Amino acid sequence: MRGLWNSLNWWAVFSDPPSHTRLRALFHRAFTPRVVNLIRDKIVAIVAELLDALGDQEEFELVADFAYPLPALVISDMLGMPREDIARIRTWSGQLEPFLGLAQKPAESYVVARQANEAMTDYFRVIVEDHRRRPRNNLLSQLVTATEGGDALSDGELIATCIMLQFAAHTTTTSLVSLGLLALLRHPDQLDFVRHNRNDPVVLKNVVEEELRYDGPIQSLRRIALEPVEFDNRRVARGELVFILLNSANRDERRFAHADVFDASRGDNQNIAFGFGMHFCSGAALARIEGQIALGALLDRGPRIELVTNDLSFNRSFGFRGLQALPIRIPLAD
């Protein structure tokens, strides 16, 4: 499976300096918080489009009808992809997830992931070539033209970056929205607090940050020790594989008072749900804005939100936390 690993090494998240430093610098020029803020109106429009498509439907499945298509549409528009291709991308991303998300990978996950990666590579090669010929005002064209010290991203790096962005949108942001709403629904007092303070933009920001701390979509990071280290009376040898449990760290009682309590008004909710240091997620600003807009729009849709069932299924993944489905009901009137 060397070909698959070589391709994944072009993902900034899996690379180390100096390659990572170069990729990060080029990528950051096209994906800053300022750029993300410029597409806020686009996100608002897509959210409205998805909710309008429900018509007078009061009961729907949040993941399939809203939380999944929202980030998929946003990133697809940013990359200049036809919207009708989203279903194919979802299938390929779903085939990559077991390979990337499981600590112990079944043998078949390697084969399926390689096939999905090859299909996505062929697909995005066409998209990248088209953007080189016909630049347009979107993220991919900015990545194509981004330079740092005379350097630019190769076609292979551009294709790998497109795959990485699509995968992140199809997993983490979807889970951020659905898990965020679930946390509010399971804590009615917090839902009431947020609803009564809906017009305060700081409140929605705090809700998203508290959700990321309380039940974040990325459960673990995979790291290899570069040198021996001792932590909590345990020794990690050089070259040993270590899994860093982000959701556990975000519930650390030594860092957060009442860490197991979901508190939408928590002032100190600085989390590491998007990683930390040089590998901090470059798409964090986009995910946060999508979460804020999405949760606010759902609260505005009706006077209350209800869980249709408490029998919920979560993804079977060591690396990623997410709901398979979230049936809800939002009465349009009391």
How would DSSP label each residue in 3-65?
Answer: HHHHHHTTSGGG--TTHHHHHHHHHHHHS-HHHHHHTHHHHHHHHHHHHHHTTT--EEEHIII
Query: Residue 116's pLDDT is what?
Result: 87
- Nearest Cα neighbor of 298 from 265, 328, 264 is 328
Give Cβ neighbours of residue 59 (< 8 Å, ≥ 6 apart).
Answer: 308, 327, 328, 329
Q: Does residue 118 sit within a domain?
A: yes
Q: Does residue 167 sit within a domain?
A: yes
What are the tokens at 128? 């990248």
- Residue 16's domain spans which residues? 2-329
Q: Does residue 157 sit within a domain?
A: yes
Higher pLDDT, 278 or 318: 318
**pLDDT-based confidence at residue 149 (cuts at 50, 70, 90):** low
Q: Does residue 90 sit within a domain?
A: yes
Query: Residue 110's pLDDT is what?
Result: 77
CATH of the domain at 27: 1.10.630.10
Query: Residue 5's pLDDT is what?
Result: 45
- Nearest Cα neighbor of 211 from 315, 331, 294 is 294
Lowest mean pLDDT among 25-34, 64-73, 239-248, 250-259: 25-34
User: What DSSP character marks residue 237?
Assistant: -
What are the tokens at 269? 């909710």
What are the tokens at 174? 């979807």
CB-neighbour burial class of residue 77 (10 A; exposed 0-12, middle 13-18, buried 19+): middle
Query: Residue 156's pLDDT is what?
Result: 83
Q: Does residue 334 sit within a domain?
A: no
Distance CA(49)–CA(63), nearest Å, equals 15
Residue pair 324/63 in contact (Cβ under 8 Å)? The answer is: yes
% of residues, the chain, pLDDT over 90: 47
Q: Does residue 132 sit within a domain?
A: yes
Query: Residue 174's pLDDT is what?
Result: 92
Total domains present in the chain: 1
Give yes or no for residue 82 having a pLDDT over 70. yes
Distance CA(279)–CA(83), nearest Å, equals 30
Distance CA(8)–CA(15), nearest Å, equals 8
Q: Does residue 183 sit within a domain?
A: yes
Give yes or no for residue 179 having a pLDDT over 90. yes
- Nearest Cα neighbor of 71 from 143, 168, 161 is 168
H runs (alpha helix) in the chain: 2-8, 19-30, 33-38, 40-53, 62, 69-78, 86-101, 107-133, 139-145, 155-168, 174-185, 188-196, 201-215, 246-249, 284-301
> What pLDDT digit, counting tens, does each position of 86-112 carry?
889 888 888 887 767 665 666 777 788
Residue pair 302/58 in contact (Cβ under 8 Å)? The answer is: yes
The size of the chain, in residues, is: 334
Give yes or no for residue 1 having a pLDDT over 50. no
Predicted TM-score (pTM) of the model is 0.88
Lowest mean pLDDT among 65-69, 153-157, 201-205, 223-227: 153-157
Query: Residue 2's pLDDT is what?
Result: 42
Lowest mean pLDDT among 27-41, 239-253, 266-280: 27-41
Q: Does residue 325 sit within a domain?
A: yes
**pLDDT-based confidence at residue 64 (cuts at 50, 70, 90):** very high
Distance CA(260)–CA(254), nearest Å, equals 12
Distance CA(250)–CA(248), nearest Å, equals 5
**pLDDT-based confidence at residue 161 (cuts at 50, 70, 90):** confident
> What pLDDT digit, counting tens, does each position of 5-36 carry?
456 666 666 666 767 677 777 666 656 667 77
